[in-house]
Structure 1
Amino acid sequence: MQLTTSHAQEPVDEPEQADEILRLRTQLERVQGRKLDAPVLPVHPALASLLPGGGLRPGAAYSLPRSTSLLLALLGHPSQAGSWCAVVGMPRLGAEAAEGMGVDLSRLVLIPDPGSRWLAVTATIAEVLPVVAVRPSGRAADAEISRLAARLRDRGSVLLVQGPWPQAEAVLEVGDPVWTGVGRGHGYLEGRAVTITASSRRWPRPRRERLLLPDASGGLSVAPDAIGPVQAIRPAAPIDTARRGGPEPTRFSPQSYEPVGARAAG
């Protein structure tokens, strides 16, 4: 519909305008394959501002980094709200780590090694489960990706991909990790602060949040303002091994420590 100055001077026919808006909305929904006002699947409040609509949109795909902690944080609230979730192609994902991030294990399906047919397995699972996460083990043809996208829209399933993915609803990245709780080679790890950046075609610019992933309880929370980006670590003064005798002791940095639970979570 094209508007001119003569239209601007004419009184607006509200019923006619409402019909036109409804027609355009229906066309847009038909092209996108989903309703614009469809409810989203809930996510942790700390992640809501990083996702268009404040949650996981049915029928959409999301591109994630290879961070198991972030993936499990995204699966936690949907599983608790009653949505079944599947994880494809991640043999090292641990049930204990998933439960620690709030995932309801009674609604979690694990397919550790789908082999070269990972895309076919993912498409089959998306037919019956509302949330499917996958780590691709190879490249997929554009035609296969398009068929999977159509199936997601038809079934209203959410796809979480660890890696690049065409036409993703949002692309999430994790950076600037800082572990807290470790002093000069001693202490207990209390949490890891990271910066999560989200890019989406629905926004003019990326959004960022500083989060604890994991926090002291092993879950997810907003990071205190005092925890900033990674700071450069000054090397310790050299030790005169000839004068003291014996090899130089090993130096540790805060980044060299990693708790068993965090290793399982990724």
Structure 2
Amino acid sequence: MGKATLSALSPADERAGEILRLRREIGRMQRRRSDDPTLPLDPALAGLLPGGGLQTGTVYSVSPSPSLIFALMSAASRRGGWCAAVGMPTLGLEAAAASGIDLSRLILVPSPGERWLAVVSALSEVVPLIAMNPGTPVREAEAARLAARLRDRGSTLLTTSPWPQGEGLITLHDPHWEGLGEGWGLLSDRTVTVTAQTRTTPRPQSVRVRLPGSLGGVERAAANGTTADRVTADRVERGVERAPARIAAVPDWRAAG
């Protein structure tokens, strides 16, 4: 009887059960609100944001790039903070670990469906840094309720959706892969520009970084660095254009975004 009842649960009921289990876990973790005004950023991103980091209790809209999200999370994770990713079922854990994310302190909620607001609200009780892809447009009333909860708990949200009254916008653009020769070679690393614009700094600030770098994380790009046989940047980033067929080997760069 028990098994038959479970199998008859609707997707909405199953998600409701996941929310209840999540709340029980959160009750055991008991995070205290941090008094730090910012969450740290990797040194390669120094100067990108005022105060040197992500302002706590706020929302940033970011490019839907897993590698950018990992880069923004890595310093806080290395310092021992918990992170979470909501509505991102294709995130690569290997790429996350290479970026410096502590997987033992990473919470994944791959498919919250329409309950994303309840999930993020619950996570904000104990997780200082959350990345989210809501999958649907965010209504102003939803944004206002969640923003109030984030301010109260000192939790910071990175969302791939436009956000009403957000703290800022962080974008990844102008990517260039290195390592290709005349129709052959190995895609080794990628150089990109990361640009941030916030309420307090309306003039955009940009840094040029290698993402992923030689070790998988984010590294400051050399000012006079060159690239060999650059693949069309925006089309490769979206995965709609592949490198030439004669490439001998290509790493799984798509898992890193």
Alignment of 1:112-123 (within 5 A): 112-123=110-121
1:91 to partner: Cα distance: 0.4
Q: Which runs of 5+ in 2 are unaligned?
A: 1-33, 233-241
Amino acid at match of 1:191: D
TM-score, normalised to structure 1's length? 0.73
1:84 to partner: Cα distance: 0.7
Alignment of 1:7-22 (within 5 A): none
Amino acid at match of 1:180: E
Of 122-131 and 150-159, deviating more is 122-131
Picking from 72, 87, 90, the partner of 1:89 is 87
Q: What's 1:185 paired with?
A: 183
Picking from 196, 208, 215, the partner of 1:198 is 196
SS at 1:72's partner residue? helix
Q: What's 1:138 paired with?
A: 136
Alignment of 1:43-82 (within 5 A): 43-82=41-80
SS at 1:208's partner residue? strand
Q: What's 1:5 paired with?
A: none
Q: What's 1:262 paired with?
A: 253
Task: Supply the distance in 2 between the matched residues of 1:259 and 1:169 (Cα, whole angstroms).
Answer: 38
Task: Supply the distance in 2 between the matched residues of 1:252 and 1:125 (Cα, whole angstroms).
Answer: 40
The answer to whether the Cα contact below 8 Å between 2:168 and 2:196 also exists between their aligned partners in 1 is: yes
The number of residue pairs the alignment matches comes to 215
Distance 1:78 1:263, change over 3 A: same
SS at 2:252's partner residue? helix
Identity score, percent? 49
Task: Supply the distance in 1 between the matched residues of 2:214 and 2:44 (Cα, whole angstroms).
Answer: 15
Amino acid at match of 2:252: G
Distance 1:130 1:232, change over 3 A: closer
1:225 to partner: Cα distance: 2.2
Q: Radius of gyration: which is bigger?
A: 1
Distance 1:232 1:68, change over 3 A: closer
Alignment of 1:237-252 (within 5 A): none
* Cα distance per residue 1:134-182 (max 9 Å; x no partner): 0111123211210100100100001011121122222111111111111
Task: Supply the distance in 2 between the matched residues of 1:87 and 1:135 (Cα, whole angstroms).
Answer: 8
Distance 1:111 1:212, change over 3 A: same
Task: Supply the distance in 1 between the matched residues of 2:113 and 2:142 (Cα, whole angstroms).
Answer: 16
Task: Supply the distance in 2 between the matched residues of 1:58 and 1:144 (Cα, whole angstroms).
Answer: 19
Distance 1:54 1:233, change over 3 A: closer
The answer to whether the Cα contact below 8 Å between 2:194 and 2:209 also exists between their aligned partners in 1 is: yes
TM-score, normalised to structure 2's length? 0.76
| 1:40 and 2:31 matched | no
What's the Cα RMSD here? 2.8
The answer to whether the Cα contact below 8 Å between 1:213 and 1:219 also exists between their aligned partners in 2 is: yes
The answer to whether the Cα contact below 8 Å between 1:119 and 1:140 also exists between their aligned partners in 2 is: no
Task: Supply the distance in 1 between the matched residues of 2:216 and 2:197 (Cα, whole angstroms).
Answer: 26
* Cα distance per residue 1:40-80 (max 9 Å; x no partner): 11110111311221112110111100110000111111111
The answer to whether the Cα contact below 8 Å between 2:231 and 2:243 also exists between their aligned partners in 1 is: no
SS at 1:56's partner residue? strand
Distance 1:252 1:39, change over 3 A: closer
Q: What's 2:154 paired with?
A: 156
Task: Supply the distance in 2 between the matched residues of 1:103 and 1:218 (Cα, whole angstroms).
Answer: 11
Task: Supply the distance in 2 between the matched residues of 1:265 and 1:147 (Cα, whole angstroms).
Answer: 32
Q: Which runs of 5+ in 1 are unaligned?
A: 1-34, 235-250
The answer to whether the Cα contact below 8 Å between 2:180 and 2:228 also exists between their aligned partners in 1 is: no
1:258 to partner: Cα distance: 9.0
Distance 1:257 1:204, change over 3 A: farther
Q: What's 2:166 paired with?
A: 168
SS at 2:107's partner residue? strand
The answer to whether the Cα contact below 8 Å between 1:214 and 1:220 also exists between their aligned partners in 2 is: yes
